[in-house]
Amino acid sequence: MKERNIFLGITGASGVIYGVNILKELHKKGCKTYLSISEWGKELLKYETGLTIEELKKFSHQYFENKNLAAPVSSGSFKLEAVIVAPCSMATLAEIASGYSKSLIGRVADVALKEGRKLILVPRETPLNAIHLQNMLKLSKLGAVILVASPAFYHKPSEIQDLVNFIVGKVLDQLDIKNDLFKRWYGSRCSIK
């Protein structure tokens, strides 16, 4: 079976749980994940989930500090199938959109774009200003998937986990990884037919 090498960057936007659960799902599905967490991502991990980096590392194949630009994944010669940044802060979004790759997460995303590899960004911010929107448009035009952390409600979520699973499932769908993380829409119960 083909090895699935996937890089996951977790940055300092609210919703670190999206990144955590994506990592756990990829681990469950037997993917080889390369993980990096920005300094503010680490703060939010502690604050929002209570998890430690050590606990999270166990679900990854290899962990790299975000300042380690000499990590193997920093080079286009390292064969990654896809790059995910979840959650993606507006700061990291701007770094990627500008091409000014000063962090590992920014550099790996930059490489994904230049090598024509799948880049999935899960931005979280609201409201969005014109800079955020322009950065998303620019990256979308370059082929990145802008998978906004905006869960739906048609699957009747009853707990936070259902909302998180919706986004995690959508990310896995992008990677063609079979999942039942959310209820799909199989027809209308609406009154308009």
Ligand X SMILES: Cc1cc2nc3c(=O)[nH]c(=O)nc-3n(C[C@H](O)[C@H](O)[C@H](O)COP(=O)(O)O)c2cc1C
Minimum distance from residue 161 beta carbon to ligand X (Å): 19
Residues that bind ligand X (CB under 6 A): 11-14, 38, 40-41, 44, 89-92, 124-125
Identity of the residue, 13 or 23, whose beta carbon is nearer to ligand X in the bound complex: 13
Residue with CB nearest ligand X?
A: 12
Minimum distance from residue 87 beta carbon to ligand X (Å): 7
Identity of the residue, 14 or 179, whose beta carbon is nearer to ligand X in the bound complex: 14
Identity of the residue, 91 or 142, whose beta carbon is nearer to ligand X in the bound complex: 91
Minimum distance from residue 79 beta carbon to ligand X (Å): 26
Identity of the residue, 18 or 166, whose beta carbon is nearer to ligand X in the bound complex: 18
3-state secondary structure string, the chain? CCCCEEEEEECCCCCHHHHHHHHHHHHHCCCEEEEEECHHHHHHHHHHHCCCHHHHHCCCCEEEECCCCCCHHHCCCCCCCEEEEEEECHHHHHHHHHCCCCCHHHHHHHHHHHHCCEEEEEECCCCCCHHHHHHHHHHHHCCCEECCCCCCCCCCCCCHHHHHHHHHHHHHHHCCCCCCCCCCCCCCCCCCC
Minimum distance from residue 69 beta carbon to ligand X (Å): 14
